[in-house]
C-alpha cells in the first residue's frame, strides 16, 4: 500500500518531508536543494521560528515543545497521511552529548528528545528518516562521571557510566522502529562545505531499501578525482561583513601576537598562562584559545560563540570574530537569507545548523535510492533488513569495537597518581591503560578509542 502511495507522489515529483528540531533549517534547505519539499517544521525556539517564517512565508510551523506535539497534529499540518512522508528529518538537541562542558547525556531531558524523534517516525511511518547529531553522541555515557572523579580512590564505573553506553541505548531504541538503519560519521568538508565539521548521520529505510551514506565529492588533497576542500579564503571572497560581536581588551592584547593558523601555543611563554587563565592547568580541548583562522584551509567547526575564550574564531587578518555574514557563507546559507534576533542569537542559530552541502548530499543519496527502487523494485532481502542497525563505515566500526570503556586524566590530575593503582582501577571496569606510559601525550582520549565496544548491528 505504501509503495502504491509513492508511485502517485513520485509521478507528481513530490518528495514531502517533515522537519523536526528545525532550528535554522540548514538540513532542510540542503534536502530541498536535492529535490525534496519541506511540508512542516516543528521548533520550540521562538527566534528560530521567527527566522523560519521570515524566509519561508507559507511553511506551517509548530512552535511547541515536541513532547507536547502529537504525530497526527504534525501530519495534519503537513497535509499528509500516515506513510505519505518521504522523509522525517532532524537533529534532536545535541548539547547534552557535546564533548564540551558537563555532558548530561540521557540523564539530561534534552538528551532524551531522540525518543520523541523515534515516536514520530514510528507513528508517521515515513519512507525514510534522517537523524544527525554531534560526534559526542558516539562516546556519551548514560550517566556522566566527571574526569576528576575517575581513577584510584573512587568507586569503579557503573555500566551506565561507561563511555558509549548512551549510543547503545539509542541504537537499541532505533531497532524498535523495524527500519533498516545505517549510521556513520561524515565530514561536511568532504561535500564542499568550507568547514571541517564532523557529524553523526543516521539514516533509516522503512521498506528495507538499499540506503547508503553519500560518497565524498571532496578531499583534503583532491586525490582520486575528487575536488580539493574549499578553503576559508575562497568562501569569504566578496563577503561584506556588517555584524559581529567583540573581543575583550585582554583578548585583543594577545591576538596581536597570533598569525593566521595559530593559537595560544604560539604566544610567548610569559603570556600563555595569562591568556588561558585557569585552563592553563587543565588538559585537552584547548585549541580554541586565541585561535586565528587561516585563509588557506577550511574553517574549523563553527561554534555558537566565536568570541568565547575557549571557542575563539578570529578573522585571519582583522582582530575580530568571524561576522554573522561570514558565518552564513561558511554554513552556505544564501545571500539575503534573514536571521532574526540579537547578534549572539544569530551566531547560535547559524552555528548549530547543518551545512547545506551536507544536507544536499544526504538528499541526493536518498533520491538515488528512490530511483533505484523505481527501476528495479525492492531488493530480494528487503524484509530481512528491517530491524537491523549497521555501521556503514568499516573503519569507523573497527575503531568503535576497539575503543576503551573510559579515560583517565593525566596522573597529576588524579586523586592517586600511582600508575599501578590506575591500572588496577581500570581493570575493575574491564579496561586497560591505553598508553605505554603514564605521560599525558601518550594517553589517547579521542572518541574513537575511549568507549565500550559496539556491535556492528543489534
Cell of 290: 586565541
Which residue is it, cell 515536541?
A: 66
Euclidean distance between CA atoms 365 and 189, whole angstroms: 17
Q: Is 391 a catalytic residue?
A: no
Q: How far is CA 75 from CA 17, 178, 394, 428, 434, in A?
A: 10, 21, 37, 50, 50
Which residue is it, cell 547508503?
A: 212
Helical H segments across 177-248, by residue range: 232-235
Helix, strand, or coil here: 132? strand
Exactly one of 93, 94, 118, 391 is catalytic; which is it? 94
Euclidean distance between CA atoms 366 and 372, whole angstroms: 10
Give the DSSP per-residue string, 352-401: TSPPHHHHHHHHHHHHHHHHHHHHH-S-TTHHHHTT-EEES-HHHHHHHH
Are 107 and 143 spatial neighbours (Cβ–Cβ below 8 Å)?
yes
Nearest Cα residue to 230 out of 265, 189, 271: 189
Question: Following CA atoms 415, 416, 419, 421 in sequence, which dihedral angle do they give, to the nearest 10 degrees?
Answer: -120
Are 7 and 127 spatial neighbours (Cβ–Cβ below 8 Å)?
no
Are 273 and 210 spatial neighbours (Cβ–Cβ below 8 Å)?
no
Neighbouring C-beta atoms of residue 215, cutoff 10 Å: 12
Cell of 37: 519539499
Cell of 338: 534573514
Give the DSSP per-residue string, 145-177: --GGG-STTSPPPPGGGSTTHHHHHHHHHHHTT
- Among left, alpha and beta (phi > 0; psi -120 to 50; other), residue 208 is left
104, HSE (Cβ side, Cα atoms, 13 Å): 11
Euclidean distance between CA atoms 4 and 6, whole angstroms: 5
Euclidean distance between CA atoms 66 and 273, whole angstroms: 44
Are 360 and 33 spatial neighbours (Cβ–Cβ below 8 Å)?
yes
Cell of 343: 547578534
Instruction: Give catalytic residue positions.
Output: 94
Amino acid at each position: 500500500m505504501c509503495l502504491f502511495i509513492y508511485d502517485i507522489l513520485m509521478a507528481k515529483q513530490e518528495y514531502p518531508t517533515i522537519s523536526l528540531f528545525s532550528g535554522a533549517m540548514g538540513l532542510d534547505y540542503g534536502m530541498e536543494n536535492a529535490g525534496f519539499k519541506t511540508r512542516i517544521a516543528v521548533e520550540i525556539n521562538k527566534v528560530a521560528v521567527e527566522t523560519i517564517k521570515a524566509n519561508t512565508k507559507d511553511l506551517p510551523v509548530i512552535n511547541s515543545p515536541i513532547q507536547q506535539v502529537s504525530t497526527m497534529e504534525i501530519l495534519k499540518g503537513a497535509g499528509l497521511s500516515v506513510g505519505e512522508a518521504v522523509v522525517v528529518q532532524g537533529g534532536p538537541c545535541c548539547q547534552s552529548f557535546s564533548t564540551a562542558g558537563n555532558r548530561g547525556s540521557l540523564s539530561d531531558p534534552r538528551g532524551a528528545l531522540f525518543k520523541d524523534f523515534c515516536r514520530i517516525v514510528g507513528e508517521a511511518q515515513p519512507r525514510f528518516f534522517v537523524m544527525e547529531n554531534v560526534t559526542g553522541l558516539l562516546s556519551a555515557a548514560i550517566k556522566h562521571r566527571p574526569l576528576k572523579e575517575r581513577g584510584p580512590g573512587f568507586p569503579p564505573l557503573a555500566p551506565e557510566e561507561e563511555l558509549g553506553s548512551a549510543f547503545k541505548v539509542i541504537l537499541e531504541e532505533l531497532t524498535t522502529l523495524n527500519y533498516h538503519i545505517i549510521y556513520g560519521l561524515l565530514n561536511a568538508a568532504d561535500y564542499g562545505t568550507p568547514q571541517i565539521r564532523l557529524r553523526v548521520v543516521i539514516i533509516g529505510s522503512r521498506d528495507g531499501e538499499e540506503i547508503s551514506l553519500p560518497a565524498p565529492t571532496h578531499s583534503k588533497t583532491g586525490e582520486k578525482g575528487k575536488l580539493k576542500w574549499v578553503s576559508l579564503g575562497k568562501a569569504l571572497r566578496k563577503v561584506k561583513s556588517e555584524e559581529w560581536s567583540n573581543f575583550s581588551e585582554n583578548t585583543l592584547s594577545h591576538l596581536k601576537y597570533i598569525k593566521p593558523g595559530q593559537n595560544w601555543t604560539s604566544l610567548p611563554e610569559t603570556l600563555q598562562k595569562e591568556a588561558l587563565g585557569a585552563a592553563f592547568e587543565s588538559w585537552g580541548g584547548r585549541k580554541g584559545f586565541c585561535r586565528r583562522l587561516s585563509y588557506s584551509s577550511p574553517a574549523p567547526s563553527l561554534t555558537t560563540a566565536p568570541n568565547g575564550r575557549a571557542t575563539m574564531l578570529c578573522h585571519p587578518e582583522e582582530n575580530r570574530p568571524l561576522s554573522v555574514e561570514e558565518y552564513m557563507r561558511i554554513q552556505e546559507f544564501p545571500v539575503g537569507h534573514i536571521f532574526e534576533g540579537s547578534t549572539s542569537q544569530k551566531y547560535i542559530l547559524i552555528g548549530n545548523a547543518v551545512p547545506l552541502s551536507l544536507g544536499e548530499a544526504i538528499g541526493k543519496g536518498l533520491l538515488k535510492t528512490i530511483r533505484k527502487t523505481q527501476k528495479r523494485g525492492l531488493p530480494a532481502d528487503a524484509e530481512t533488513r528491517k530491524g537491523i542497525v549497521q555501521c556503514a563505515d568499516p573503519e569507523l566500526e573497527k575503531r568503535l569495537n576497539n575503543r576503551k570503556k573510559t579515560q583517565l586524566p593525566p596522573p597529576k590530575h588524579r586523586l592517586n597518581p600511582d600508575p599501578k593503582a590506575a591500572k588496577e582501577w581500570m581493570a575493575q571496569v574491564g579496561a586497560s591503560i591505553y598508553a605505554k606510559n603514564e605521560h599525558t601525550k601518550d594517553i589517547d582520549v579521542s572518541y574513537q578509542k575511549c568507549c565500550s565496544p559496539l556491535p556492528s548491528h543489534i
